[in-house]
Amino acid sequence: MRRREARTKIRDSVLVDEVRQSTVDVALERKRRKLVAALGLPANFRFVNPIRRLRTPFAELVKRERIQAVRFKTGISVDYPDLVQMRHRAGKNVVVETRSDHQQSKRRMGQPGHDFALFGAARQHPAPQGKVAMGEGFLLQGGDCAESFSEPSANNVSANNIRDFLRVFLQMAVVLTYAAALPVVKVGRIAGQFAKPRTSPMEKKDGKELPSYRGDVINGVEFTDDARRPEPARQIEAYRHSAATLNLLRAFVHGGYANLANVREWTLGFVKDSPQSHHYEELADRISEALGFMQACGLDLESHPELKSTEFYTSHEALLLGYEQAMTREDSTRPGTFCCTSAHMLWIGDRTRQVDHAHVEFCRGIMNPLGLKCGPSSKVDEILRLIDILNPENEPGRLTLIVRLGSEKVGDQLPAMIRAVKREGKVVLWSCDPMHGNTITSETGYKTRPFDRILSEVKTFFAVHRAEGTHGGGVHLEMTGQNVAECTGGARMITDADFKDRYHTVCDPRLNAEQAIELAFLMADLLKAERATRAKPLPAVSGL
């Protein structure tokens, strides 16, 4: 490798090494060594942020840097061949300078919290998930496996896509709220779901081998050398897409679209003559009747904001730590606490949940509600350790365990997990991801998920919770508002033959709009059954 290339081929976790600049003085280096020792990091560990504040009390620095520390043992590292310089400064700008724009001015990602203004939601305390963890609600989390800058069906900057996703999501939420008589916390996998962990680092096609696609924030999905080369400026693009998506979501959610009076308008054209749509229309009738009844009793619906809009939160996997870190800022009202403003909720994936690795280290330092994927290789004692690390205060809603065991293993493995968590007195929100343990390759070579297996995992998940006396509190889905054919089965019996024209995901197969609503009705029945076994009297109604 030529020297110039060797110089620029830097790992992302090392890029941010500002301590090594020539101006560094002996005192700073001494402080670095002391900190490294105090934090138990490797002796050559370099901090993401320069340790400039020499006057900061040492104990405070330890606390802050523990939060900011990114270890080298990270499960994901990206070689950026075109990178000249990238500087992440927590709570400040991200500056990315690539070879291609070396002559031009540096590009900035902007001030997190300024464009995103998510700070309020992310630091909401207690988190809305708290009540769900205590059995008083349901968490609906869903969206694309991977958002895309360009694939139309996963490009959420398009207003129509966002609207369609939201329509289906709101329909699902209303179905669940009505049936379970529980508030539904709505969390999209949206406005930032751009980084993908991959099982295999390389992909082979027609005898050619290239690096795997790792999400639009890292490289491109097209199978070419160019596209698969990691490009740091994509982080800027991801940031802009996320901000624009969020902007549109806010406009829809708070601009009257989510008004319960519009419950009928959420049905998408292509869903209109499906069995679910009739089912949904019946429910919409009942809701409209109930609203009419309340109005007749003298209740002024207009004065109830909870009927006119809703709370909608965003989430994504906290995978590309440099990016996430750049979006993290200190809460000025609670010094020493940090909030990642890129989303309300962040989760740790099944491949990056090692106790002593960077992703856990980063996530334990931020105050956002967290998710932890628990797959078939999750050991019960590991889960307990992770709970201690990620939620040391045992705060309800801080941690959601997103169980993705697969329809065949969930019945065997979930009871032991629940019992251990219960035995230790830990409060977690139990959510079911029935997607990631049920992926198979179709006869025609497409990655797919049979709807039956998805249903079966959801049913078993709820049955186990019923048997254990715990609350199956949520679901985590890969879904879209588009009429795609990516998962087989469902009421319209999608088969391999449909994939040819309607398979659009850039990563994992998603439920289409009809399948998502079908699943919501099934879950509503299961929640209703759970409610019946734990029936609490409704508060007395007065004035009738």
| Interaction of residue 147 with ligand PEP, rule CB under 6 A | no
Using DSSP bridges, classify how beta strands 370-374 and 345-348 pair: parallel, antiparallel or unpaired: parallel
What is the DSSP secondary-structure string of 422-463? HHTT---EEEE--STTS-EE-TTS-EE-BHHHHHHHHHHHHH
CA distance 384 to 419: 11
Which of Co ion, ligand PEP, none binds 404 (CB below 5-8 Å, type-dependent)?
ligand PEP
The span of 165-173, 269-277, 324-332, 347-355 binding ligand PEP (CB under 6 A) equals 347-355
Instruction: Let me know if 441 is exposed, middle or buried by CB neighbors in 10 A (0-12, 13-18, 19+).
Output: exposed
Three-state secondary-structure class, residue 8: helix
Cβ of residue 149: shortest distance to ligand PEP, in angstroms? 17
The span of 237-245, 343-351, 442-450, 480-488 binding ligand PEP (CB under 6 A) equals 343-351
Which of Co ion, ligand PEP, none binds 373 (CB below 5-8 Å, type-dependent)?
ligand PEP
Q: Which residues pair with 488 in a beta bridge?
A: 450
| Interaction of residue 32 with ligand PEP, rule CB under 6 A | no
CA distance 399 to 388: 10
CA distance 400 to 402: 6
CA distance 272 to 195: 34
The span of 2-10, 25-33, 213-221, 344-352 binding ligand PEP (CB under 6 A) equals 344-352
If the CB atoms of residues 199 and 542 are measured against ligand PEP, the closer one turns out to be 199
Query: 321 to each of 71, 227, 267, 359, 438, how far by Cα in Å?
Result: 10, 22, 38, 7, 28
Cβ of residue 320: shortest distance to ligand PEP, in angstroms? 13
Residues 241-270 binding ligand PEP (CB under 6 A) are none
Query: 361 to each of 69, 358, 366, 380, 392, how far by Cα in Å?
Result: 7, 5, 9, 20, 13
Size of the site for Co ion (CB under 5 A): 2
| Interaction of residue 350 with Co ion, rule CB under 5 A | no
Could you identify the residue written with the tokens 């609350």?
471
| Interaction of residue 487 with Co ion, rule CB under 5 A | no
Angle in degrees, CA 509, 451, 186, rounded to 5 = 70
| Interaction of residue 508 with Co ion, rule CB under 5 A | yes
Cβ of residue 144: shortest distance to ligand PEP, in angstroms? 9
Residues 500-529 binding ligand PEP (CB under 6 A) are 508
Cβ of residue 406: shortest distance to ligand PEP, in angstroms? 11
Angle in degrees, CA 187, 244, 86, rounded to 5 = 100
| Interaction of residue 530 with ligand PEP, rule CB under 6 A | no
| Interaction of residue 316 with ligand PEP, rule CB under 6 A | no
Three-state secondary-structure class, residue 46: coil
Residue from 87, 404, 471, 510 touching ligand PEP (CB under 6 A): that is 404
Instruction: Let me know if 189 is exposed, middle or buried by CB neighbors in 10 A (0-12, 13-18, 19+).
Output: buried
The span of 80-88, 301-309, 447-455, 504-512 binding Co ion (CB under 5 A) equals 504-512
CA distance 189 to 237: 18
Cβ of residue 450: shortest distance to ligand PEP, in angstroms? 18
If the CB atoms of residues 71 and 196 are measured against Co ion, the closer one turns out to be 196
Cβ of residue 260: shortest distance to Co ion, in angstroms? 31
The span of 138-146, 314-322, 331-339, 378-386 binding Co ion (CB under 5 A) equals 138-146
If the CB atoms of residues 44 and 199 are measured against ligand PEP, the closer one turns out to be 199
Query: 187 to each of 136, 285, 370, 528, how far by Cα in Å?
Result: 16, 26, 12, 21
Residue 433: HSE in the Cβ half-sphere, 13 Å Cα cutoff: 27
| Interaction of residue 449 with ligand PEP, rule CB under 6 A | no
The span of 185-193, 232-240, 422-430, 503-511 binding Co ion (CB under 5 A) equals 503-511
Cβ of residue 351: shortest distance to ligand PEP, in angstroms? 6
The span of 116-124, 300-308, 346-354, 483-491 binding ligand PEP (CB under 6 A) equals 346-354
Residue from 121, 139, 145, 346 touching Co ion (CB under 5 A): that is 145
Residue from 31, 357, 436, 459 touching ligand PEP (CB under 6 A): that is 436
Helix (H) or strand (E) holding 530: helix 513-533
Residue from 97, 216, 350, 486 touching ligand PEP (CB under 6 A): that is 350
Q: How many helices (H) and strands (E) does the chain have?
A: 18, 17
Which of ligand PEP, Co ion, none binds 250 (CB below 5-8 Å, type-dependent)?
none
Three-state secondary-structure class, residue 217: coil
| Interaction of residue 475 with Co ion, rule CB under 5 A | no
Residue from 64, 167, 359, 373 touching ligand PEP (CB under 6 A): that is 373
| Phi, psi for 488 (deg, rounded to 5) | -80, 160
CB atoms within 10 A of CB 456: 18
Helix (H) or strand (E) holding 382: helix 380-390
| Interaction of residue 145 with ligand PEP, rule CB under 6 A | yes
Residues 193-222 binding ligand PEP (CB under 6 A) are 197
Q: Which residues bind Co ion (CB under 5 A)?
A: 145, 508
Interacting residues toward ligand PEP by CB under 6 A: 145, 197, 349-351, 373, 375, 404, 436, 508
